[in-house]
Amino acid sequence: MGELDHPAPGAVVTEARTAGRVPAASAANGGERPEHVRRTWVRWLVGRPLPTADAEGQTIGKAVGLAVFSSDALSSTAYATQEILVVLALAGTATFALALPISGAIVVLLSIVVLSYYQTIHAYPGGGGAYVVARENLGELPAQVASAALLTDYILTVAVSISSGVAQITSAFPALFGLRVELAVVLVLGIMVVNLRGVREAGALFAVPTYLFLAAMSGTVGWGLYRWASGSLPAVTDPPPLDAHGVLQPVTLFLILHAFSNGTTALTGTEAISNGVPAFREPRGRNAAATLVAMASILGSLFLGITFLGVRCGAVPSDSETVISQLARTIHGGRGPLYLAVVIATVLILVMAANTAFNGFPRLSALQAADGYLPRQLTYRGSRLVYSRGIVVLAVLASLLIVGFGASVSALIPLYAIGVFLSFTLCQAGMTRRWWKAGRLPPGGERQERASRLRHERGWLPKMALNGFGALCTAAVAVVFAVTKFRDGAWMVVLLVPLLVALFLAIRRHYRTLERRLSLDDWGAPPRIRRHRVIVPVSSVHRGTLVALHYARSLSDDVTAVHVSNEALAAEELRRSWERWGDGTRLVVLDSPYRLLLEPLLEYIEQIAAQRQRNETLTIVVPQFVPRRSWHTLLHAQTAGFLRLALLFRPGIVITSVPYQLGRPPSAARGS
């Protein structure tokens, strides 16, 4: 079937549909693309549109789910150990031995958090994570705090993971160090495009790098442990210079807590699976929970292994070469193929970590927007059944953050993890209250809540105790992180979260006010329009002007054309043209000795509007011609647009644009 002919200017194209039937063209293409969808560069980049009915086909299994939702957590093993050593270095390299017990404490905390989210997944199979749990059990304000913390953390996840990935690249290729910001922004935009193509396509593409990283790092850690056990593990050769910090600090509790807070960045991303449960295939809850357990097991093992080997090899934290790079070249005996495989796999998983945020941020913002706390546009799904506007917003904000902080991991880390631990705390506190509510129900009793069904459970007391203990632990970590990192930049997040909550509440107030003002309750009958007065601004007499004039005359017999004159000769010429083409319509010419255009016209409209009687409507019909090429618009004064904006907020006035699409010249049309 050939392409549809272009409609004539002003024509309205409608699509006939029959209930329960699919158009033949669509059926022949397997629902591939509607005939009216234009083939543009955006379609080529993002992919063909998907029908709403295909939403279930876009879900993913456990193997792909591990790649999509666990890459953030798994990638943190690439920098969490280094961030612990950065703080311990303040007291000298002798304190590096403390890195292993600190890592062990972090893994214990990870186990507590994972057990909590395991229960959250089964309690709330609809997803939403901390936001939904806090909203259901703690109230709207804690829910907005959780959302502000998580959204901030998602943005930082993209910035930190991409910057860390670029740091791995510059460790292997130092000549690229000066281009790290540009490389980071390009990577963010690349991940954005892939995610705009859909969850299933992004998951299938990114599954390979995730498993490549797991194979490379597991092999490196396993071979390193074997060499250590056999006594053949060497020390790092030619280690990079350790940044000087002046006078060494004593080993204090504050220093240890500071290192612990740095290392807790390894826990970021563990909430992503509970937020994205709807993306899994049925049974969603079981598949998501199994993926969570697998992710936690791999994360804990790699984190402990990398820390242990890094300390035994004598790796040092440095901006010029990462700990992972030092570890890989030491274990594999230089910068050979195995070393490059580890570096490449690490870069890929760090880029993949940003992909986790690209799945979590749009879903969370869509949930919040549906509740009226963010712009409603974020709830719309794009042509590929993903929340495309949320994806673009995340890419823009993360790119701005990368540019602002120069793609420096050390500069971004102080902003990181406060938000995620705050959301951990609210989620577990909400689950604690949920089990308390379940315990108060009679045996066999149940109650439908907004996002889940609450049932009485025999084991509610141990579950409540587990979540309560987890909430205390994560709250303590959040406080430690805020205190130890406050001067390094954590104050920004401490200030930003309340500001975001205030913004969310302001958006909600706007929507509630709008609902009240648009409500039909107690409104009665709408006022009748007894008189219709129409004004048509005229710059010159052409086809677009006459189309607008004919439309205006179809609305009312009281039509006035208004022209603002800067030159007497031009005004006289327009009057002569109007006598021929104006069809008897009244013409008013406003003199403008100061060459102003909008001001005299607006003053005239305001005078007419001030004389407006009750039940009289004043309509401004604005002619507007539309060029064939969009860039041609830049060559013309957008008077119609400026006039529309100037009159939009004036009460009692209706503004109507009458576009006239410019087709091919008549001679070209006849010759074709």
Residue 523 lies in a domain: no
Domain match, 324 and 418 both: yes
CB burial string 368-390: b at 16+ within 10 A, e below: bbebbbbeeebbeebbbbbbbbb
State the pTM of this model.
0.71
Residue 18 lies in a domain: no
Q: Count Cβ atoms within 10 A of the Cβ of residue 48 and give its class: 0-12 exposed, 13-18 middle, 19 or more buried.
A: middle
The reported pLDDT for the residue numbered 244 is 53
The reported pLDDT for the residue numbered 221 is 94
Backbone conformation region of residue 18, classed left if phi is above 0, alpha if psi is from -120 to 50, else beta: beta
pLDDT tens string 387-408: 888 999 999 999 999 999 888 8
The reported pLDDT for the residue numbered 178 is 85
Looking at residue 280, the DSSP 8-state letter turns out to be B
The reported pLDDT for the residue numbered 73 is 83
Residue 364 phi, psi (nearest 5): -65, -45
The bridge status of strand 446-448 relative to strand 453-455 is antiparallel
The reported pLDDT for the residue numbered 570 is 86
Q: Which two tokens stand for residue 469?
A: 């203990």
Domain match, 395 and 290 both: yes
The reported pLDDT for the residue numbered 328 is 92
Backbone conformation region of residue 10, classed left if phi is above 0, alpha if psi is from -120 to 50, else beta: left
pLDDT tens string 353-381: 787 788 888 888 998 999 999 998 898 87
Domain match, 540 and 464 both: no
CATH number of the CATH domain containing 352: 1.20.1740.10
User: Rounded to an integer, what distance in angstroms lies between the CA atom of residue 10 and that of residue 408?
Assistant: 54
Mean pLDDT score of the chain, rounded to an integer?
81
CB burial string 85-107: b at 16+ within 10 A, e below: bbbbbbbeeebbebbbebbeebb
Asked if omega into 241 is within 30° of 0 (cis), the reply is no
The reported pLDDT for the residue numbered 40 is 59
Domain match, 72 and 159 both: yes
Domain match, 462 and 535 both: no
pLDDT tens string 582-629: 989 999 999 888 777 788 888 898 888 888 777 788 899 988 877 777
Name the percent of the chain lying above pLDDT 90.
28
pLDDT tens string 102-148: 999 999 999 988 988 888 888 888 777 888 899 999 999 999 999 99
Name the percent of the chain lying above pLDDT 70.
84
The reported pLDDT for the residue numbered 385 is 64
User: In which domain, by residue range, is 640 found?
Assistant: 531-671
Domain match, 573 and 640 both: yes
**Residue 416 is which amino acid?**
Y
- What's the structural domain count of the chain? 2
The reported pLDDT for the residue numbered 240 is 84
pLDDT tens string 648-660: 777 778 888 888 8
User: Rounded to an integer, what distance in angstroms lies between the CA atom of residue 331 and that of residue 308?
Assistant: 13
